[in-house]
Amino acid sequence: MRAVIDTSSLLALVRYYLPFDNNKSLRKYIKKLIDTGEIIILDKVYEESKYTSKGIILTELNFLKDKQFKTNDILPNPKFFNQLENQFCYGSQRNRLDASEFELAKKKYLNSADAKLLLYCMRDKDSLELDLPILVTEETKAENDNKLFKKLPEICSILEIGHCSLPLLFRDYLKISISKYLTE
C-alpha cells in the first residue's frame, strides 16, 4: 500500500492528532511510513505546506524537508488534458472565462499540488501492479466554492483512483487503532 497525501490531510494530522501524541509514537510511526515509501509527500504538497496555516505542517513535521517526491517528470497525457477541459471543470465557471483566461487557469491547475497528486496516482494505473497508490485528502465532493475545477474526491471518482480521508487511512489501510498512539 502506498498513500499519497495532500496538504489538507497533513494539516489535519498536525492539528487534530499530533497534539495528543504525548509520547511521540504516532509521529515516529508516520515518519517510518514516509521513510519506507508507504506514505508519499510530493514536492508540490511540501511547497503548498509552507504557506498553509503559517507553515505549521513543516514546523511539526520537520523531517519532511528531504522526503519529497519530485514531480518534474510527471506530465499529463493527451487524455488527461481532454478530461481537464471537459470533465474536471464546472461548465458554468468555464463559460465565464474567455479562451486565454481558461488556458491560463488550466496551466496554473496543471502546476498545482492537486494535479500532481492525480497524475502521480495515474502513472501506475494501467500496470498490473497491485500496489496502486491511494490519494488521501480531507476534501469532500461538495461544491468547490465557485472554483473552476472540481475537488479531488470527485476527480478521483472520475479517474477511478482510490481515495480516502486520514481516519479511513488509519483504520482501513494501515489497520491501526489511533487511540493506541494517543495515550497519556
Separation CA 85–CA 134 (nearest Å): 24
Which structural domain, as residue segments, surrounds residue 175?
2-181
Instruction: Please tell me the predicted confidence (pLDDT) of residue 138.
Output: 96
Q: What is the pTM of this model?
A: 0.91
- What's the DSSP call for residue 18? G
Helices and strands: H and E segment counts in the chain = 11, 5
Instruction: Please tell me the predicted confidence (pLDDT) of residue 183.
Output: 62
Instruction: Please tell me the predicted confidence (pLDDT) of residue 1.
Output: 79
Tens digits of residue pLDDT in 60-74: 999 998 888 999 899
Q: Write out residues in the chain with pLDDT < 70, as ranges.
A: 126-130, 143-144, 182-184
Residue 17's CATH number: 3.40.50
Instruction: Please tell me the predicted confidence (pLDDT) of residue 184.
Output: 54
Structural domains counted in the chain: 1
